[in-house]
C-alpha cells in the first residue's frame, strides 16, 4: 500500500510532463522553424540546434506587407471589443447579482447562455446579408459589434460571480452619502471586482485576437484580421511559403501567449469562481 502511495507522485509528474510536451511541442516547432531556412523546416528528425536566420521575417515584410496591416486591424478590433463588452457587461453583471429574485432577469440570464451556445457559422450567413443591406460590411465595427455580442454573456457571468462577493452594505453606505446608482457601479463595484474584469478581459482578448469564422465571412480587404491573412497566405499564388507562414504565425501568437502567461492567475481565478458560484 505504501509502495503504491510512493509511486503516485511519480506517475502524476510523468502525466503532467507528457501533457506539457504534447501542448508545447507544436508551439516550439512553429517558433523555432520561423528562424530556419525553408529547406531545414521539415527535416526529420528535427534539429533543435541550428544557425538562426531572420530571412523569413524579412521576406514576410517584403512579400506580404499587408500582414502587418492585418495585425493593426486585429489590435484595433480587440481593444474596442474589450471596451464595448465591459461597458455592457459590468452594469449587466451588477443587475444579475443584486436582483436575483426577479423572474424576468433570471430568464434573461438563461438567454445569455443560449446565445453563447450558437456556433458562429450558424449566424454568420444571415448577418452578412443584414450588414450588406446596412452598407457596413468591410468595416471593423461589424466585428466589434459581433464579438461584443458573442462575448457579453460569458463576461457578464464571470463578473457577476465576483460582484456576488462584494457586501451590499458598501453600496448602501454610498447611497446614504448621496452616490447615484451609476456612481456606485463605476466607483465602488467596478474597482472591487477588478480581478473579475481582468479575467474577463483575458477571455475577450483571446477570442477577439484569434477569431476566424466571423472575420473570414464578414471582413473585407480593408479589415482583414491576422488569422484571415494567415489563411490567405496558405493559398498564395506563389504556393505555400512555409518560412514566411511560420514567421507570420509566430508574430500573431507571441503577443497573446505572453498576455495569457502574464495574467494566467486572473484567468484561473475567473474559471474557478465561475465554476463554484455559477
pLDDT of residue 75: 93
pLDDT of residue 8: 64
**43-52, 75-84, 180-189: which is most confident:** 75-84
Report helix, strand or coil for 236. Answer: coil
268 confidence band (pLDDT: 50, 70, 90):
low
pLDDT of residue 209: 92
Residue 93 near residue 160 (C-beta atoms within 8 A): yes
pLDDT of residue 270: 52
Q: Which domains does the chain have, with CATH numbers?
A: 2-55 (no CATH), 63-277 (1.10.3720.10)
Supply the mean pLDDT for the chain: 81
Tens of pLDDT, residue by residue over 147-164, are 988 888 888 888 888 888
Residue 245 CB partners (closer than 8 Å, separation 6+): 230, 233, 234
pLDDT of residue 221: 77
pLDDT of residue 278: 43
189 vs 114 pLDDT, higher one: 189
Percent of the chain having pLDDT more than 90?
A: 12
pLDDT of residue 166: 82
**Distance from C-alpha of 146 to C-alpha of 150, rounded to nearest angstrom:** 6
Tens of pLDDT, residue by residue over 22-47, are 878 888 888 888 888 888 887 777 77
pTM of the model: 0.81
Residue 251 near residue 209 (C-beta atoms within 8 A): no
Roughly what angle, to the nearest 10 degrees, separates helices 66-98 and 140-163?
40
- Region of poorest pLDDT, from 60-74, 187-201, 255-269: 255-269
Tens of pLDDT, residue by residue over 229-245, are 988 887 765 667 888 88
Amino acid at each position: 500500500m505504501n509502495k503504491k502511495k510512493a509511486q503516485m507522485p511519480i506517475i502524476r509528474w510523468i502525466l503532467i510532463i507528457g501533457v506539457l510536451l504534447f501542448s508545447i511541442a507544436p508551439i516550439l516547432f512553429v517558433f523555432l522553424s520561423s528562424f530556419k531556412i525553408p529547406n531545414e523546416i521539415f527535416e526529420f528528425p528535427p534539429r533543435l540546434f541550428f544557425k538562426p536566420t531572420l530571412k523569413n521575417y524579412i521576406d514576410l515584410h517584403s512579400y506580404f506587407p499587408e500582414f502587418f496591416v492585418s495585425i493593426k486591424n486585429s489590435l484595433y478590433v480587440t481593444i474596442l471589443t474589450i471596451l464595448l463588452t465591459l461597458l455592457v457587461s459590468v452594469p449587466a453583471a451588477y443587475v444579475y447579482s443584486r436582483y436575483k429574485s426577479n423572474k424576468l432577469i433570471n430568464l434573461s440570464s438563461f438567454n445569455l447562455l443560449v446565445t453563447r451556445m450558437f456556433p458562429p457559422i450558424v449566424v454568420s450567413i444571415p448577418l452578412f446579408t443584414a450588414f450588406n443591406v446596412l452598407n457596413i460590411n468591410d468595416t471593423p465595427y461589424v466585428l466589434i459589434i459581433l464579438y461584443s455580442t458573442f462575448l457579453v454573456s460569458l463576461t457578464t457571468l464571470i463578473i457577476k460571480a465576483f460582484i456576488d462577493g462584494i457586501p451590499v452594505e458598501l453600496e448602501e453606505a454610498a447611497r446614504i452619502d448621496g452616490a447615484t446608482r451609476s456612481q456606485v457601479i463605476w466607483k465602488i463595484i467596478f474597482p472591487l471586482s477588478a480581478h473579475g474584469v481582468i479575467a474577463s478581459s483575458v477571455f475577450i482578448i483571446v477570442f477577439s485576437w484569434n477569431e476566424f469564422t466571423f472575420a473570414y465571412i464578414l471582413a473585407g480587404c480593408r479589415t482583414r484580421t491576422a488569422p484571415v491573412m494567415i489563411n490567405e497566405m496558405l493559398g498564395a499564388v506563389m504556393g505555400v511559403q512555409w518560412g514566411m507562414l511560420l514567421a507570420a504565425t509566430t508574430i500573431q501568437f507571441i503577443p497573446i501567449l505572453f498576455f495569457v502567461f502574464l495574467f494566467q492567475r486572473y484567468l484561473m481565478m475567473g474559471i474557478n469562481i465561475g465554476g463554484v458560484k455559477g
